[in-house]
């Protein structure tokens, strides 16, 4: 009998990835294929349950097709999804929906927040802290006893400090203050308004309330602000410094709660990866706040974390 195939899912707001692997009897995983499907929204949002189920089915189908694995049914699945809070009714409902969508027994499915699968992928079973800075941001960690804690990640309307969204929003806030004469002009206003192809605060006000703007619209401006900070714009530099300090605060909050004195810390996400000034300021701030922290590269990604969770469901006991 061949070793079972398992599935790991990373279900984000823009797309869902499904990775298939074969579990070896002697330990370890052999990656077989990967497929992509649509994104998800919070299960409580209109159409949220339907989007979640469709994302799992379609990404699994794409992975099966990509790997030439027609007729294969995963033996277990680990799913990390945006908007799933550990210990909540939403998590319970996500578990029910996933088991149904994948046609698996309930005890062969594990559904969690995507930050938890990312943590598992980054560190396996070892202690450490993962900070994720992209459109949104969150930090999550685990100590040697297996206790986990998260800071941040409460949605862009409530808690965006350290994210690309926050950087972009703060830049636009300063741009209207400049336009009003409340703040001295710098290159920031013209640069951001060129990015949005607008020429007045009135146009900006109308643009940011459009349905297609939202968190992603603000986040798209973060690279421009990071470049301005690198060129010496004082307002852009202050915005990046504030965001970096917020990331340090997230990591420090996790480290303090879990009593991690010299934590291994990995940082992932589009903002921390692609905004060099933000990354530099974050590292400088962390060295001051947690001088014994050790920067490490993640062992794997969120899909890998999902696979490890799926594998645990097949272990005896």
Helix locations, the chain, DSSP H: 48-66, 89-102, 114-123, 164-180, 187-195, 201-208, 214-219, 222-230, 234-257, 270-274, 276-289, 302-312
Confidence (pLDDT) at 159: 86
Checking if the pLDDT of 1 tops 50, the result is: no
Q: pLDDT digit string (tens) for 145-179?
A: 999 999 998 888 888 899 999 999 999 999 999 99
Long-range CB pairs of 172-176 (<8 Å, 24+ gap) are: 172/204, 172/208, 172/218, 172/221, 174/235, 174/239, 175/201, 175/204, 176/201, 176/204
With bands split at pLDDT 50, 70 and 90, how would you rate the model's confidence at 2?
Answer: low
State the Cα–Cα distance between residues 79 and 307, nearest whole angstrom.
8
Q: Which residue has the tokens 């450490």?
A: 128
pTM, rounded to two decimals: 0.89
Checking if the pLDDT of 119 tops 70, the result is: yes
Give kind and range of the element (H or E) at residue 150. strand 148-152
Checking if the pLDDT of 7 tops 50, the result is: yes
Q: With beta carbons less than 8 A apart as the criterion, state whether 174 and 188 touch.
A: yes
- Domains contained in the chain, CATH given: 5-124+299-312 (3.30.420.40), 164-295 (3.30.420.40)
More confident: 86 or 19:
19
């Amino acid at each position: 009998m061949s070793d079972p195939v398992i599935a790991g899912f990373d279900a984000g707001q823009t797309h869902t990835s499904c990775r298939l692997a074969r579990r070896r009897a002697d330990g370890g995983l052999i990656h077989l294929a990967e497929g992509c499907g649509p994104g998800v929204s919070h299960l409580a949002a209109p159409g949220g349950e339907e989007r979640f189920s469709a994302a799992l089915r379609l990404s699994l189908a794409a992975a099966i097709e990509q790997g030439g694995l027609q007729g294969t049914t995963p033996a277990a699945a680990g799913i990390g999804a945006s908007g799933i809070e550990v210990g909540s009714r939403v998590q319970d409902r996500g578990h029910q929906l996933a088991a149904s969508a994948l046609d698996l027994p309930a005890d062969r499915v594990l559904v969690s927040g995507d930050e938890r699968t990312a943590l598992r992928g980054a560190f396996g079973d070892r202690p450490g802290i993962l900070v994720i800075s992209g459109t949104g941001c969150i930090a999550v960690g685990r100590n040697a006893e297996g206790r986990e804690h998260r800071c941040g990640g409460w949605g862009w309307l409530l808690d965006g400090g350290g994210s690309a969204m926050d950087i972009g929003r703060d830049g636009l806030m300063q741009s209207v203050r400049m336009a009003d004469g409340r703040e001295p002009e710098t290159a920031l206003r013209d640069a951001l308004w060129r990015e949005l192809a607008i020429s007045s605060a009135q146009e900006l006000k109308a643009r940011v309330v459009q349905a297609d703007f939202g968190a992603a619209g603000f986040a798209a401006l973060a690279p421009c602000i990071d470049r301005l900070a690198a060129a010496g714009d004082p307002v852009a530099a202050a915005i990046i410094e504030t965001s970096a300090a917020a990331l340090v605060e997230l990591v420090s909050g996790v480290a303090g709660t879990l009593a991690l004195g010299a934590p291994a810390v990995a940082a992932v996400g589009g903002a921390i990866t692609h905004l060099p000034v933000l990354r530099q300021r974050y590292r400088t701030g962390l060295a001051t706040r947690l001088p014994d922290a050790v920067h490490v590269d993640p062992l794997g990604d969120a899909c890998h974390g999902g696979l490890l969770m799926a594998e645990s469901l097949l272990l005896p006991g």
